[in-house]
Amino acid sequence: MCGAAASATTAPAILVYGDSLSAAYGIPQSKGWVTLLDERLKQRSSNYTVVNASISGETSAGGAARIDKTLAASKASIVIVELGANDGLRGLPVEQMKKNLTAIVQASKREGARVILVGMQLPPNYGVPYINTFRAAFRDVALDERVAFVPFLLEGLDKREQFQADGLHPTAAAQPILLDNVWRKLSAMVVLPPR
């Protein structure tokens, strides 16, 4: 009886572990896709809580350095890893990014969490060899670690007006598209009450 009562009060957590694309950079926090995810879960009478531990400017190395502490604080049952864009924009070694992402995924799995790895792509001006290697890195980590994979967070954003002035960060109006891209994988993981 105690166990049932305890589990009823401990809502499972979904940890979003990302960079500015998940931290609602340049738009109101309430309009970001992570807040929209929280709202969607509430609309479906879900008892999941959403913890956003995303930091603008974060690299995969920064994420790897703080993952253990973040997992301990969040007690997440699902971890959405959305890191790597800043590695790419800075031209950092892809092999090192893969090691960092693998470390984050493995740490999450050790804590019993299911993981969704979110992929990223770079603009063509970074050169074909680098952008191809970069894009493939996310798929490789997801396959190696056997975790769910969203190939590209910004899939479907193909108009200039869907981005802020910097050309990198989606507008508030584009955030529901980001949510839907993640939701396609997440919906199979969350246990929702019958509608």
The Cα–Cα gap between 138 and 149 comes to: 8
Going edge to edge, which strands form the sheet with 148-150? 49-52, 13-18, 76-82, 114-118, 148-150
Whether 166 is catalytic: yes
Buried/exposed code over 101-138 (b: 16+ C-beta within 10 A; e: otherwise): bbbbbebbeebebbbbbbbbbbeeeeeeeebebbbebb
Q: Which of 19, 20, 60, 87 is catalytic?
A: 20
Whether 108 is catalytic: no
Q: Which residues are within 8 A (CB) of 89 and not within 5 positions of it... i.e. 6 or more apart?
A: 122, 168
The Cα–Cα gap between 80 and 105 comes to: 9
Whether 54 is catalytic: no
Q: Which of 38, 45, 169, 180 is catalytic?
A: 169
Which sequence positions are flagged as catalytic? Answer: 20, 166, 169
